[in-house]
Each structure stands twice: as C-alpha cells, then as structure tokens.
Amino acid sequence: MKLITPRLTLTRLQPEDWPLFLQVHSDAACMEFISPVPQLADIRQRFHDRLMPWQATSFHMLCLVIRLKESGESIGLMGATPEWMPHRQAEVGYSLLREHFGQGYSSEALDALCDLLFSDCGFHKLKAQVVEGHQASRRVLEKNNFALEGTLRDNYLFNGRWVNDWLFGRINPRD
C-alpha cells in the first residue's frame, strides 16, 4: 500500500520504522492532545500491534508512515481503525513530529487517506475525536470536510483531569 500526494508518500508501517514510532510516542509535544507519554513497554506493544497485515475488514488499526516525497524523511504517523460490521465506519488519527507542525502535511495526508478509505475500502463514514481546544487538529479535519457532530463531555481522563472531546464525522460523498 502506497499513497502519493504532491509533497508526501504514505506507506504501511514496517519494522524499520521503530525509531520514528518511538520518537512520536515519546515526545510530549506530539502526544500533547493524544495521551500521556506511554511507558516504553506500551510503545513497543502498540508498534507490534500495528505491524499486522491490514484490510478494510480488519479489527485493528491501519498505521501509515508519512514521509516527505523529495527526501524520504519520515515525519509522522497516520492511521485508521475500522468498525466495519455493521457500521462501515473508521476512526482516523494522525501525529507529526513537532518540527513539521503547521506546514499542512496532516491535511494533505488525511486527504489521501480519506480517498483510500472511501474509494478503495468502501467505508460509509469516517470519524475523529479531538480533545476540545486542539484548534490545529480541528482545522485539519475541517479542511478535509469533516463536520463537528458534537462534544462528548468529560470523555477522557487526561493528565489527571477530565476533558471534553469534539466528535467529527465525514460521510462518503459517493453513498
């Protein structure tokens, strides 16, 4: 699986991507709106789980590495977790290394992922949960035609306090 955009290449996570995976999951800036920085054993388990072969009807996450097309430099991760039966839905997520924030890479990569999930995989709806107040992620989703569907109050215990999550959704325009 390989997705190509004007500036990026997205490919399935491979064993040799461990340094990037560790860097993203160990960096407090990358994890700021996702979760507390996990313990090394948890990061290793997440990495192992995401190496499994994937198809649209899988029960585990598709994990893609985002790379700059010109240099091949790995800059982040993007994924989708399917809920195929009975809903034909998938939840999307993304995280870039901090030096690549604010350059439009997440929006560009998400556009390619949405196209794959709708066109090739046949999902009816894509969704995303974002910690309330994470404006950068909200902009990425809205640029990709995700609509705010609501706020889940006190949805997540994060760093010792309950936070709200914004719930975004996008319907397959072909359905």
Each residue's pLDDT tens digit, 135-167: 999 999 999 999 999 999 999 888 888 999 999
Compute φ and ψ for 146, nearest 5 degrees.
-85, 140
The parent domain of residue 134 ranges over 2-171
The domain that contains 87 carries what CATH number? 3.40.630.30
Phi first, then psi, for residue 159 (nearest 5°) are: 50, 45
Helix (H) or strand (E) holding 172, with range, is none
On whether the CB atoms of residues 156 and 163 are closer than 8 A, the answer is yes
First to last CA, the chain: 24
pTM of the model: 0.92
What total number of domains does the chain contain? 1
Per-residue pLDDT band for 114 (boundaries 50, 70, 90) equals: very high
Encode pLDDT of 17-27 as tens digits: 999 999 999 98
